[in-house]
Amino acid sequence: MKKKVLTLVLISMVMTATGQQVDIQGHRGARGLMPENTIPAMIKAIDLGVTTLELDVVITKDRQVVLSHEPHMSGLICLTPSGERIAIDDHSHNIYQLTYEQVKQYDCGSIGNAGFPIQVKLHTSKPLLKDMIQTVEKYVKDHGLKPVRYNIEIKSTVEGDNIYHPDVTGFSSLVYDLISRELDWERVTIQSFDFRVLSHFRVKYPDVQLAMLVANDKTWEQNVQDLGFTPEIYSPYYKMLDASSVKQIQQAGMLVIPWTVNAVSDMKMLLEWDVDGIITDYPDRAKGL
């Protein structure tokens, strides 16, 4: 199964100016340019030629799968339904305690994001995963474009179980069932920092391609040992890599797709190390590499 899945990933990659195949993933769509994890961000990323849309999902009170990096409405990017600012440390706007009808009343685009000064400001809300997929698939078909892949992060923690999200089994089931209705799994990767999610998927849904997200100080060997199996993709913070480790990880049977790479100089360095993909907030900067 692994050889089949890896072949499919490689088919979806773009060719760089130097002839190198690489999977360009738009982080949260195109966070540097458009409000993150929104439909406009996904469309912008597609227009810029990404091969994969990277996104995060959470669960509402009425068990809907919604695009969001945090399980709450973040004061960095969202306004309340009445148009008020949310304090940065206020996590009380818990999406798991809101219905989707309530969630979509929050404006998560008009105030922009101070960390991304050229991001377009527009009134937009956190979309349902189903609506985003259907909109993207129609857009790609209507414009005669190649199908994109989806790299979907399940945002869960031990501390958040049954407070900010369902337990791993329930969360995974909601995501799996929805994707099964909307997409061919050959175009989907499930990623997570929560190794419980990856382990559950490997047992319950063994044909699903998995990406291990990593942000710790352990070696790649230690992380794989902690996980208990070798996933299809190793996806660390890019500064955790060097040329030697990239080669070693690939020799162990994994693709290497680091996050979040925004400087062109870093993109070029990683390509020189032969990474298999790059996750970036600025897909426009990856064009012409």
The whole-model pTM stands at: 0.95
Bridge partner list, 52 = 25, 149
pLDDT at residue 172 tops 70:
yes
* pLDDT at residue 101 in the model: 98
Report the C-alpha gap between 191 and 154 in whole angstroms: 7
**What is the mean pLDDT of the segment spanning 205-211?**
98
Phi-psi label, residue 83: left if phi above 0, alpha if psi -120 to 50, beta otherwise: left
Report the C-alpha gap between 272 and 124 in whole angstroms: 38
**What is the mean pLDDT of the segment spanning 44-62?**
98
**What is the mean pLDDT of the segment spanning 108-128?**
98
DSSP string of 114-182, one letter each residue: TT-TTPPP----PPBHHHHHHHHHHHHHHTTPPPPEEEEEE---TTTBTTTB--HHHHHHHHHHHHHHH
By percentage, how much of the chain surpasses pLDDT 90?
Answer: 92
What is the pLDDT of the chain when averaged over all its residues? 95
CB of 282 closer than 8 Å to CB of 32:
yes
How many Cα atoms within 13 Å fall on the side-chain side of residue 250?
Answer: 16
**What is the mean pLDDT of the segment spanning 158-186?**
98
Where is average pLDDT lowest: 161-165, 227-231, 245-249, 284-288? 284-288
pLDDT at residue 237 tops 80:
yes
Specify the higher pLDDT residue, 223 or 14: 223
* pLDDT at residue 18 in the model: 60
pLDDT band at 43 (very low <50, low <70, confident <90, very high): very high
Strands 277-280, 188-192: pairing kind: unpaired
**What is the mean pLDDT of the segment spanning 142-164?**
98
pLDDT band at 12 (very low <50, low <70, confident <90, very high): low
